[in-house]
Structure 1
Amino acid sequence: MRILSILLASLLSFTAHADELNMAFGESIPPFSFPDSHSGIEIEIISAALAVHGHSINPSYLPLARVPFGFKQGEFDAAMTDLGQDMQALGAYYGDPAVLYDNVFISLAERKLEIKAPEDLQGLSIVSFQGAYKRYPEWLMTGKLNGLYTENFRQENQVLLLERGHFDLALSDINIFKYHQIQVHQNLGTPLKTVKFHHFVRLDPNDYRPVFWKKNIRDDFNDGLKKIKKTGEYQAIYDRYLIAPMTALETINNTTLETKVVD
């Protein structure tokens, strides 16, 4: 009877400390978030990590540029990213990286472009995801000043805009771009042109970290993230969304999908 009482007390204590977080995410960012089904790599990993300590999320989906703004205004308990803004100075707490975004410039291979330094972008038109300019101003300033830089919140458009020559370069995460290549290929039913990926900055996992207003929630998240990596749940979520696209993309362009996960 005493053991049962202890277990019941532990359960009640666990439940009492469990929070439902109102959390801000960017609008549809396949394969990382699918608002209609509250699914995707990033949403499921964050949910699983928080669930280890009994927490859950109530996700809201905003234009990417509004995510940090809404968080700073206190509209949300947590946000998927700060988009390059320093939230720690406001008293917020950064979690460990949940997913890794590997942003690159993308060109049609037939253009034979080489992007090694910001000056290589001179005269080239660029379509990018929202908020990229704030993160990479030294690379994008010239294009913005010359009217050659555009941010498009619908990243699936980047594939067709590049394919049809409306822009010289796209700036996107590798896996997001490749995921949309698959969708465009399936919709058109014709092969796509081969593209070239240009890595232009050192990949830093800390560029994209979830941010929380409560330290204890951040600590629970970090602990849960470690645990789901150890159990294999973390990798299983990645595999569910990227193994199948890998096979499809290899068929389309004879390229290999780079499944980027955080160690």
Structure 2
Amino acid sequence: MNIARPLIQLVSWAILVSSVFLVKALANDSTQNLSIAVGWSKPPYVIALNDTGYEVELARQVFKRMGYSITPVYVPYGRTLSMLKSAKVDAALTLSENTATQTIHLTDSYIQYQNVAISLQSSNFKIKRPNDLAKHSVASFQTATKILGKAYADAIKQVPLYVELPDQRRQVGMLLNGSISVLVMDVNIFNHLHSALEPIESRQLVSIHNIFPPSHYHVGFLNSELKEQFNRALNDFQASQAYEILVKKYHIFQEALSTH
């Protein structure tokens, strides 16, 4: 009996199977995955329930142009930087300029938030500068005193009550139920959450006090080459029609309900 032919067929089959798995492995490697620290849900920027939101989708599009897929790791906003510093993630979103160090490499600004002070219109508050907050009870987001400037940090030292919370839905609820008198947060986040918490027919009117400049945010990397790749991909994406479609999808630049 000639066993050479079956043996050759067996070897050929083994080579074919190995080749198929190698091709699949190479295909999977062509789109590497990065873990990204993302602050807890901040709709319309971050909607953790289904991995969407303006900021998450923007980041996903930019990383895709770099050849990467991403896995968001949702943590309280104040922990994103520590997650990156301890190398538990490959990158972190929404980092302010003052977080740059020799080991934390920040990209160009990829997103800006417009933080404002918000009060119920029925309160008739006149708030024209951060110092005017000193006599009110205030709620804000985590690390606000580090991000919103010295005048804000000094004013907060004098307020009768001040809290920083990771759950921004709860912050809005505190304003609407009278637990605090002034809320400090991004205007787009407030508009989204206000619409979700109160039906339009009985929605309380609010005053938006524009007392802060826009806050520019960056992606942080431990790898400086990834930072440079991100900057190039970001410029490419922002010049595309896909970017315009994304902005319109989430109504990022919509008007505030009322301004003073």
If the length of structure 1 is used for normalisation, what is the TM-score?
A: 0.79
2:249 pairs, out of 229, 240, 259, with 240
> Within 5 A, what are the aligned runs for 1:1-263?
19-83=32-96, 85-87=98-100, 89-136=101-148, 137-144=150-157, 146-186=159-199, 190-205=201-216, 208-242=217-251, 255=257
Q: Quick one: structure 1 residues 202 and 143, their matched pair in 2 at CA, closer, same or farther if it must change by over 3 Å?
A: closer
SS of alignment partner, residue 82 of structure 2: helix
Task: Report the Cα distance in structure 2 between the residues aligned to 1:217 and 1:143, rounded to whole angstroms.
Answer: 38
Task: Report the Cα distance in structure 1 between the residues aligned to 2:159 and 2:127, rounded to whole angstroms.
Answer: 18
The question of whether the paired residues in 1 share the 8 Å contact of 2:141 and 2:184 is answered with yes
Task: Report the Cα distance in structure 2 between the residues aligned to 1:167 and 1:256, rounded to whole angstroms.
Answer: 19
Q: Quick one: structure 1 residues 210 and 175, their matched pair in 2 at CA, closer, same or farther if it must change by over 3 Å?
A: same
C-alpha displacement of 1:15: 7.9
C-alpha displacement of 1:226: 1.6
Q: Residue type matched to 1:26 in 2? A: G
Q: Residue type matched to 1:93 in 2? A: H
The question of whether the paired residues in 2 share the 8 Å contact of 1:123 and 1:143 is answered with no
C-alpha displacement of 1:159: 2.5
Q: Deviations over 1:6-47 (max 9, x none)?
A: xxxxxx999867542111000111111112211111111011
SS of alignment partner, residue 30 of structure 1: coil
SS of alignment partner, residue 56 of structure 1: strand
**Unpaired runs of at least 5, structure 2:** 1-24
C-alpha displacement of 1:223: 1.6
**Unpaired runs of at least 5, structure 1:** 1-11, 258-263
The question of whether the paired residues in 2 share the 8 Å contact of 1:140 and 1:149 is answered with no
Count of residues in Structure 1 that have an aligned counterpart in Structure 2: 234
C-alpha displacement of 1:153: 1.5
SS of alignment partner, residue 127 of structure 2: coil
Task: Report the Cα distance in structure 2 between the residues aligned to 1:118 and 1:98, rounded to whole angstroms.
Answer: 26
Higher strand share: 2
**In angstroms, what is the RMSD of aligned CA positions?**
2.8
Q: Return 129-138 or 60-69, whichever deviates more.
A: 129-138
Larger radius of gyration: 2
C-alpha displacement of 1:204: 4.4
Q: Deviations over 1:208-255 (max 9, x none)?
A: 111111122112211221222222111211221228x96xxx9xx9x3
What residue is the counterpart of 1:3 in the other structure? none
Task: Report the Cα distance in structure 2 between the residues aligned to 1:256 and 1:166, rounded to whole angstroms.
Answer: 21
Task: Report the Cα distance in structure 1 between the residues aligned to 2:94 and 2:128, rounded to whole angstroms.
Answer: 27
Q: Residue type matched to 1:29 in 2? A: K
The question of whether the paired residues in 2 share the 8 Å contact of 1:65 and 1:83 is answered with no
C-alpha displacement of 1:92: 2.2
After TM superposition, the runs of 4+ consecutive aligned structure 1 residues lying more than 4 A away are: 12-18, 144-147
